[in-house]
Structure 1
Amino acid sequence: MAGLRQKMFRTAVAAVALILGTLPVRAADMPEIRFLIPGGKGGGWDTTAHAVGEVLTATGLATVVAYENLVGGGGDRALLDLIHHPQRHRNTLMVQSTPIIVRSFRGDYRNSWRDTRPVAILISAYQAIAVPANSPYRDINELMQAIRLSPGDVPVTGGSTYLSLDHLTLGLVAQAAGIHLNALRYSPADGGKAALDRLLSGKVKAVVSGVGELLPAAQAGKIRILGVTSADPLPGLDVPTFRSQGLDVVFSNWRGFFAASATDEKDIQAFEAMFTELAATTAWANQRSKYRWEPLLLVGDPLKRFLIEQERSLFRIMTMLQSSPERFGRMASRSHARHWR
Structure 2
Amino acid sequence: MKLSAILRSCIAATTFFTAAASAQVSVMLPANPGGGWDGTGRQAFSAMNKAGIYTGSVNFTNKGGAGGTIGLAEFQNGSAGKPDNLAVFGAITVGAITLNKSPIDLSKFKPVARLTAEYLVLAVRPDSPYKTLADFAKALKENPGGTPVGGGSAGGVDHIALALLAKAGDVPVNKLNYIPQAGGADTVTGIVNGTLKAGISGISEFQQFAKAGRVKILGITSAERMKGLDAPTFKEAGYDVELANWRGILGSVDMPEDNYKLWVDRFTKLNDSEPWKQTLATQGWDAFFMAGPEFGTFIKAESDRINTILKDAGLAK
Q: TM (normalized to structure 2)?
A: 0.75
How far off its partner does 1:140 sit?
Answer: 2.6
Report the Cα distance in structure 2 between the residues aligned to 1:154 and 1:39, rounded to whole angstroms: 32
> Do residues 108 (structure 1) and 101 (structure 2) align?
yes
Report the AA paired with residue 37 of structure 1: L
CA distance in 1, matches of 2:41, 2:211: 22
Aligned to 2:114: 121
Does the 8 A contact of 2:185 with 2:205 survive in 1?
no
Which of the numbers 87, 96, 100 marks the counterpart of 1:94? 87
Q: Does 1:211 align with 2:199?
A: no
1:27 and 1:274 in contact (8 A); partners too: no
**Rounded Cα–Cα distance in structure 2 between residues aligned with 1:47 and 1:215:** 20
Whole-angstrom CA distance in 2 between matches of 1:237 and 1:26: 48
The answer on whether the counterparts of 1:198 and 1:204 sit within 8 Å (CA) in structure 2 is no
| 1:258-303 Cα deviation digits (max 9, x unpaired) | 133254444333322220110111332344455352432211x333
1:246 aligns with 2:250: no
1:241 Cα deviation (Å)? 0.7
d(CA) in 1 for partners of 2:168 and 2:127?
26
CA shift for structure 1 position 196: 0.5
Contact residue 100 and residue 113 of structure 1 kept, 8 A:
no
Distance 2:245 2:19 in 1: 27
Higher helix share: 1
Identify which of 201, 210, 221 aligns with 2:189. Answer: 201
Structure 1 gap segments, 5+ residues each: 1-16, 332-341
Q: 1:145 to 1:304 in 2, by over 3 A?
A: closer
Paired amino acid for 2:225: P
5 Å-filtered alignment, 1:56-67, equals: 56-62=48-54, 65=58
User: How far apart are the structure 1 equivalents of 2:198 and 2:26?
Assistant: 34
Which of 58, 68, 74 is 2:67 aligned to?
A: 74
Q: Distance in 2 between matches of 1:27 and 1:240?
A: 50
Q: Distance in 1 between matches of 2:300 and 2:19?
A: 28
- Indicate conservation of the 8 Å contact 2:66/2:100, yes or no: no
Distance 1:51 1:215 in 2: 22
Change (3 A) 1:119 1:184: same
Structure 2 equivalent of residue 8 of structure 1: none
- Is 2:176 the partner of 1:184? yes
How many residues are aligned here? 303
Q: Give, as a single letter, the amino acid of the residue that structure 1 aligns with 2:223.
A: A
CA distance in 2, matches of 1:253, 1:50: 18
Q: Does 1:281 align with 2:269?
A: no
- The Cα shift of 1:74 comes to 2.0
Secondary structure of the equivalent of 1:36? strand
CA-atom RMSD in angstroms: 4.0
Structure 2 residue 151 is matched with structure 1 residue 139: no
CA 1:143–1:232 in 2, change beyond 3 Å: closer, same or farther?
A: same
Measured after TM superposition, the shift of residue 243 of structure 1 is: 2.0
- Equivalent residues of 1:74, 1:161 under 8 A apart: no
1:269 maps to 261
2: CA distance, partners of 1:46 / 1:224? 30
Q: Distance in 2 between matches of 1:249 and 1:130?
A: 16
Q: Which has the larger radius of gyration?
A: 1
Distance 1:41 1:216 in 2: 23
* Cα 1:127–1:25 shift into 2, 3 Å: farther
Q: Is the 8 Å Cα contact of residues 86 and 260 (structure 1) preserved in structure 2?
A: yes
Q: Is the 8 A contact 1:26 1:274 kept in 2?
A: no
Corresponding position of 1:83: 76
Are the equivalent residues in 2 in contact too, given 1:157–1:195 (CA < 8 A)? no
Cα distance in structure 2, aligned partners of 1:79 and 1:253: 18
Could you tell me how far 1:97 is from its partner in structure 2?
2.0
Alignment-derived partner of residue 6 in structure 2: none
Partners of 2:205 and 2:45 in 1: CA distance: 17
Correspondence list, 1:21-32, <5 A: 29=21, 31-32=23-24
Instruction: After superposing the two structures, state which structure 1 stretch, 278-287 or 128-137, moved more.
Output: 128-137
Give the residue type in structure 2 aligned to 1:246. G
Q: 2:188–2:206: 8 Å Cα contact kept in structure 1?
A: no
